[in-house]
């Protein structure tokens, strides 16, 4: 249909043919039949993806077919994750179903496997059948966010908790409560001190709010743990820069530091994290902090899918032009944390020249990107993205916060009330606002929820050890089987009754742990790391299931035991896998 107004014609006494009259359409996009609808795929259900999908549906209603693909069927309000971890709000209060937010948008819960830019299709798998499905598109929006990348710090990927999604918040809360439970009953002072020492790495927004909320959870819960004294709690915040909250004015950052210190949090600035194990974190100045809890709020990296797309990247983000188009890829756009969007025509190596990775920027990016797609389809002029931050807020716990809003600097309780009001207004949907508001009100007078809902640990995992660390020692309950990936480990076994002694050093490719795993319920040997190393751990039940299901493993271990321990006649040599009584209890 022609969008131009019809030319004037002379009056005629002939009856008007209303069906032939042409009117200027009011819709944002030129009219189209159902078959002519343009398909817009939005990948990612964060702030950028959700607000882009909403704006696309609104501006192109009836003219665009908008579909959002996300691994989960809910939107996570990430600023509230520290409060979920601290049991200040329920997990359901920090999430909103995508189908409630996007009632007129097709929502598809699926895992994105790849993108074929030439064929203009996205490959996903969904449901339990795991059959790849091709989704074609006319316009593609990448709003996949970022991932956690801690590979630069040995041991952090294996032992640090993160604060990226809802599962992370649950895991941290469960872990902290578990530490308190064990510390309340242990008789070992070193173990108790490690359990009661909590370390957060990263002094940005997430790190500051996480350490404050975690400290608040511990403080409120201590009255239920009579054998733990408040002075036994140690909490550290570690920041590589010279101060925390680097995007805030210096005086507000100093106030935040003082408030955290008043709460008993030791703030270490100008020092970085060198490595970590399951029992300690090592700083780059040589200090070692024994701890059972390490939370990493650093190490943003590209989404795993984005890494495979061969796009132009910088600072682990997809480079775009000012209209949020991806150079070199027709019909592809990017926004949110995944995108590096310039705010000036000639950006330099200055982060201030680019959009920041915050919710307020992502919301505006989503709306502007939608308008630009509509403008492109209509053949009209697009607008470059431009936005100035309205300010920043950070909660410090104990009803205190800092705020820098519209150039006004606030701190203390007033800033905290502003922080809560701002995020409450930012929550999508009235129901979510109401639930969170009521929960905040109730939690101000109600005791904390210290129920520990444990999750099943992974069957296999990597464990990092520092030189001198003990992997296990005599008397410990068996837990699993170990394979050396990196480093060297020495096993020592002594039989006090027979006087027999066994010693062996295990190097990469070798394994240990099968001796008692296949024979008794308690460890009889000592394993010590001779140098920094990495082990692959396989849980006991999973290892014994393999031993029972694959007979060749039994033969392998018989031969291995003969070569390694000197035969079954030795008092510390195990029998075969078939002799383990625990196997009979397995399903």
pLDDT score at 276: 96
Is the per-residue pLDDT at 26 higher than 50? no
Q: Indicate the range of 84-98, 205-219, 290-304 predicted with least confidence.
A: 84-98
Instruction: Give residue 500's pLDDT band: very low, low, confident or very high (50, 70, 90).
Output: confident
pLDDT band at 580 (very low <50, low <70, confident <90, very high): very low
- Residue 141: predicted pLDDT: 98
Q: Is the pLDDT of residue 19 over 70?
A: no
* Local confidence band at 5 (pLDDT 50, 70, 90 cut-offs): very low
pTM of the model: 0.86
Tell me, what's the pLDDT at 495? 79
Of 24, 34, 75, give the one whose Cα is nearest residue 54: 75
The pLDDT, as a whole number, for residue 520 is 58
Give me the mean pLDDT over the 287-314 stretch.
Answer: 95
Structural domains present in the chain = 25-71+110-147+303-378 (3.50.50.60), 156-298+391-443 (3.50.50.100), 460-585 (2.60.120.10)
Can you read off the two tokens belonging to residue 383?
A: 């607008």
Q: Which of 24-33, 183-192, 559-568 is predicted least confidently?
A: 24-33
To the nearest whole number, what is the mean pLDDT of the chain? 88
Decide which of 571 and 124 is more confident.
124
Q: What is the pLDDT of residue 521?
A: 67
On the CB side of 305, CA atoms within 13 Å amount to: 18
300-302 and 293-296 strand pairing: unpaired
Q: What does the alpha-carbon distance between residue 47 and residue 62 come to, in Å, rounded to a whole number?
A: 24
Report residue 516's pLDDT band, with 50, 70 and 90 as the boundaries.
low
Is a pLDDT exceeding 70 seen at residue 349?
yes
Written as six digits, the tokens of 157 are: 């990927």
DSSP string covering 163-226, please?
Answer: -SSHHHHHHHHHHHHHHHHHHTT---HHHHHHHTEEEEE--SHHHHHHHHHHHHHHHHHGGG-T
Q: Outline where 478-569 has alpha helix (H).
A: 514-517, 540-549, 551-565
What does the pLDDT average to over 20-41? 58
């Amino acid at each position: 249909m022609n969008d131009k107004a019809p030319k004037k014609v002379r009056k005629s006494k002939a009856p008007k043919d209303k069906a032939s009259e042409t009117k200027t359409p009011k819709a944002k996009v030129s009219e189209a039949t159902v078959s002519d609808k343009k398909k817009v795929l939005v990948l990612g259900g964060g702030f950028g993806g959700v607000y882009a999908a909403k704006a696309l549906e609104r501006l192109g209603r009836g003219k665009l077919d908008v579909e959002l693909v996300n691994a989960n069927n809910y939107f996570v309000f990430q600023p509230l994750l520290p409060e979920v971890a601290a049991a200040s709000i329920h997990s359901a209060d920090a999430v909103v179903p995508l189908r409630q937010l996007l009632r007129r948008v097709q929502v598809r819960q699926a895992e994105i496997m790849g993108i074929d830019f030439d064929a203009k299709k996205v490959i996903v798998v969904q449901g339990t059948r795991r059959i790849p499905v091709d989704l074609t598109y006319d316009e593609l929006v990448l709003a996949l966010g970022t991932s956690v990348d801690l590979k630069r710090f040995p041991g952090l990927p294996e032992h640090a908790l993160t604060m990226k999604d809802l599962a992370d918040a649950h895991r941290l809360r469960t872990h902290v409560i578990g530490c308190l439970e064990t510390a309340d009953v242990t008789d070992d002072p070193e173990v108790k001190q490690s359990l009661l020492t909590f370390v957060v790495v990263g002094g940005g927004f997430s790190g500051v709010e996480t350490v404050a909320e975690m400290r608040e959870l511990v403080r409120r819960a201590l009255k239920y743990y009579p054998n733990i004294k408040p002075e036994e709690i140690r909490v550290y915040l570690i920041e590589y820069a010279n101060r925390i909250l680097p995007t805030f004015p210096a005086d507000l950052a100093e106030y935040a530091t003082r408030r955290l210190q008043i709460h008993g949090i030791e703030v270490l600035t100008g020092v970085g994290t060198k490595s970590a194990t399951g029992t300690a974190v090592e700083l780059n100045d040589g200090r070692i902090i024994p701890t059972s809890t390490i939370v990493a709020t650093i190490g943003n990296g590209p989404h795993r899918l984005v890494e495979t797309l061969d796009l132009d990247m910088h600072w682990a983000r997809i480079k775009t032009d000012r209209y949020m188009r991806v150079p070199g890829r027709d019909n592809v756009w990017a926004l949110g944390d995944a995108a590096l969007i310039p705010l000036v025509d000639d950006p330099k190596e200055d982060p201030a020249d680019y959009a920041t990775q915050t919710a307020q920027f992502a919301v505006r990016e989503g709306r502007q990107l939608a308008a630009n797609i509509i403008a492109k389809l209509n053949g009209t002029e697009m607008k470059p993205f431009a936005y100035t931050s309205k300010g920043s807020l950070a909660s410090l716990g104990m009803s205190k916060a800092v705020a820098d809003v519209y150039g006004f600097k606030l701190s203390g309780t007033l800033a905290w009330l502003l922080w809560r009001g701002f995020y409450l207004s930012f929550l999508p949907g009235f129901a979510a606002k109401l639930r969170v508001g009521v929960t905040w009100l109730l939690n101000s007078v109600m005791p904390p929820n210290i129920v520990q809902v444990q999750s099943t640990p992974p069957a296999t995992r990597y464990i990092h050890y520092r030189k001198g660390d003990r992997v296990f020692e005599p008397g410990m309950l068996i837990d699993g089987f170990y394979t050396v990936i990196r480093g060297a480990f020495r096993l020592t076994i002594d039989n006090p009754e027979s006087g027999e002694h066994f010693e062996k050093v295990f190097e990469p490719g070798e394994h240990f742990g099968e001796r008692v795993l296949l024979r008794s319920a308690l460890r009889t040997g000592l394993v010590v790391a001779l140098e920094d190393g990495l082990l692959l751990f396989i849980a006991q039940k999973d290892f014994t299931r393999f031993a029972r299901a694959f007979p060749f493993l039994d033969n392998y271990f018989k031969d291995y035991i003969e070569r390694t321990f000197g035969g079954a006649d030795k008092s510390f040599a195990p029998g075969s896998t078939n002799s383990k009584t625990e196997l009979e209890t397995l399903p």
